[in-house]
Amino acid sequence: MSNATQPPVAAKKPHSFTHHGITVTDDYAWLRDPGYPQVGGEAVLDHLKAENAWFESRMEPRKALVDGLFKEMRARIKEADASVPQKDGDYLYWVEYKEGAEYKLWWRRPVAGGEDELILDEVELAKGHDYFRLGAIAVSPDGKLLAWSVDDNGSERFTARVKVIATGEMLPDEIPGTLSSLVWVAGGDKPWGLVYSLANENWRTDNARLHWLGSPIEQDIELFHEDDEGFRVGSSLSANEKWLLIGSSDHETSECWMVPANDPLAKPMLVKARQEGVEYDVDERDGVLYIHANDTHENFRIATAPLSKPGEWRTLIEGTDEVYITGFELYRDFFVVESRVRGLDTIELRYYDDPSRVEPILFPEASYDAGLADNPEWAVDKLRLTYESMVSPSTVYDYHLADKRLEVLKVQDIPSGYDASLYETQRLEIPARDGTLVPVSIVYRKDRAALNGGEAGPLHLYGYGAYGMAMSPSFSTTRLSLVDRGFAYAIAHIRGGDDLGRAWYKMGKREHRTNTFNDFVDVAKGLIAQGFTQAGRISISGGSAGGELMGAVMNDAPDLWGAVVAHVPFVDVLNTMLDETLPLTPGEWPEWGNPIEDKAAFELIRSYSPYDQVRTQAYPPLMVTAGLNDPRVTYWEPAKWVAKLRELKTDSNELILKTNMGAGHGGKSGRFESLTEAAEEFAFILWQLGIVA
């Protein structure tokens, strides 16, 4: 229990800098430890600990509420649970949770019959660590070896290991500092090899490297090196496992190389040289390349090219304004195209001998989230799919190609009980201030009015709006803790995501960035106008770039929000984009603009950067989280923001910051440990909105 009686006041240490003739003052710059990524400065650590003590002192009276929320959230999770086994070669693979376990067990069983085999025990690996995250996991093509990687402090630098599955023998091969998949390749007269990428000192994967099993790590071979510091490198296998695919990309440009998987030291074949603004990915079947590219239409097309002339692309499926082609998967006898139409997922089967033959897979609801699951084999007669909606729990299907039939394999079990008929979901379109219709997915109880005494009740609004990441109308058991207390829960599909296609994304980035913030505010006002809630009865949340959104809308429309939760918020946008030594910055310039070289970008970012725009005014109640080891949004961004808010805000509303001293961007690891943070968030919201649990 904390005995803190006053919120900490950070020291102001005069600091300023000048760019493009504009001087910016930053009196809390000292909160960035000069030894980062090691944080050892006494003053910095003392301040973070003081903030944590204040968080604990303010949340301590809410402990019973937090505990109650945690208990009900946990009761909705099936403690002893397993995935549906999936065939891959000679084995069926699945994962399992034991009763009360935070982490998974990875199992397999021979298809021909035999004993279950535990191939990886996350529970054992996580022992003694406050944080544990499995990165990559891959079984060798002969089924005998397992490679995996682990991060045990949240820094997202993973150590890869290899073992013999049958005996459990750990091989001496250990690769620290990876940040990538682990791809098995054949060695000919050598043992198996692993292709991986190392994170360099600035946490950038600028390489693809080959490790022959049994050889010293110092002798690993660099297969590919990326010289552009804004690009990142990743590797995978083609669907038929004949090719090692090496890709390099930033947020809007990509380039792919191909190497025979059985001859990884062969000269890589460039598919097509990078062209600014063109993204593509590639796969191969029977000497024909299939390419998913946005070169002729921003919503992508599917093209083909002969393997002998990989850069000569011919359109197979045209890009259109109406259909946003999000990806494709090749199989021996057919291929699958995944798209979105007005934000709704579509899955279509197509055939090599007759590309005009289209078989859509149809789902029962008007709004849902659906997609391909893990389908590792090349020759298949059924497809594994996942499906959910805001009222329908996650469902695993097999789609049988012969009779076009969906077979339900598993529906998410909610032990404490769930009756979908009690809930209503809608997909609304609310006009933004420029007339653009913004989709909104919303769920609430049908008896919500009764729960709120006939009044317009509370509403929680979630948003992200960046990097072309769509926010799916998916199912959440955690969310029920608000909805069952009379909340409506809404997801604003604002510009900056690609919910409605690539143009939707582009209209929320760089010079159009403020559309994202305006959309969110206008959605809130539209929900008020439609009678869902009222000003001051709206809680909002977002993380990372969604935390930037929280900061911006707090500055612009503080009276709308009754409670704000900002997780690992990207709020010090200008300083971060000016610092090219930070891990992500060069790769982020295509998303936000480069304020170092571009004065207009400098001025625009400064005009909305939440930290720079904190002003003397009243602010709504705010809860902020951070991770000391977070390499994506460094801990000092939320720390500086909270310090400046404490200095300038004119209200007496709650302002609390919790820095997880042993985790990174994703918060606590473990399926139950993470629920503690969700329970704290919801307890804060209920407290601030005056709702008796």
Q: Among candidates 351, 374, 373, 525, which has minimal Cα distance to 438?
A: 525
Between CA 459 and CA 483 the distance in angstroms is 9
Looking up tokens 């009360």 gives 100
- pLDDT confidence tier of residue 662, bands split at 50, 70 and 90: confident
Share of the chain above pLDDT 70, in %: 99
Q: Which residues contact 103 (CB under 8 A, 6 or more apart)?
A: 97, 122, 123, 125, 126, 132, 134, 670, 671
Q: Among candidates 33, 39, 32, 38, which has minimal Cα distance to 201?
A: 38
pLDDT reported for residue 693: 64
Please list the residues that pair with 107 across neighbouring strands.
94, 118
Dihedral sign for Cα 394, 396, 402, 405, please: negative
- pLDDT confidence tier of residue 244, bands split at 50, 70 and 90: very high
Q: Where are the domains of the chain?
A: 48-74+424-688, 322-413
Between CA 210 and CA 183 the distance in angstroms is 9
Share of the chain above pLDDT 90, in %: 89
Between CA 346 and CA 324 the distance in angstroms is 10
For residue 177, pLDDT over 80 is answered with yes
For residue 629, pLDDT over 60 is answered with yes
DSSP state of 10: P
Q: What is the mean pLDDT of residues 655-668?
A: 77
pLDDT reported for residue 291: 98
Looking up tokens 């926010």 gives 471
Q: Are strands 145-151 and 133-139 parallel, antiparallel or unpaired?
A: antiparallel
Is residue 109 within 8 Å of residue 116, measured between CB atoms?
yes
pLDDT reported for residue 630: 79
pLDDT reported for residue 151: 93
Between CA 292 and CA 282 the distance in angstroms is 6
Q: Are strands 459-462 and 538-543 parallel, antiparallel or unpaired?
A: parallel
Residue 225: count of CB within 10 angstroms of its CB: 11
More confident site: 3 or 111:
111
CA atoms within 13 A on the CB side of 35: 9
Query: Is residue 656 classed as helix, strand or coil in its secondary structure?
Result: strand
Rg (the chain; Cα; Å): 26
pLDDT reported for residue 226: 96
- pLDDT confidence tier of residue 163, bands split at 50, 70 and 90: very high
The mean of the pLDDT values for the chain is 95
DSSP string, 511-548: GGTHHHHHHHHHHHHHHHHTTS--TT-EEEEEETHHHH
Domain boundaries 48-74+424-688, CATH class: alpha beta
Residue 680: count of CB within 10 angstroms of its CB: 23
- Using left for φ > 0, alpha for ψ between -120 and 50, and beta otherwise, residue 323 falls in beta
pLDDT tens per residue, range 540-572: 999 999 999 999 999 999 999 999 999 999 999
pLDDT tens per residue, range 54-110: 999 999 999 999 999 999 999 999 999 999 999 999 999 999 999 999 999 999 999
Q: Which residues contact 218 (CB under 8 A, 6 or more apart)?
A: none
pLDDT reported for residue 666: 56
Q: Are strands 488-492 and 459-462 parallel, antiparallel or unpaired?
A: parallel
Q: Which residues are catalytic?
A: 544, 630, 665
- pLDDT confidence tier of residue 668, bands split at 50, 70 and 90: low
Residue 259: count of CB within 10 angstroms of its CB: 23
Between CA 375 and CA 88 the distance in angstroms is 8
pLDDT reported for residue 243: 98
pLDDT tens per residue, range 355-368: 789 999 988 887 89
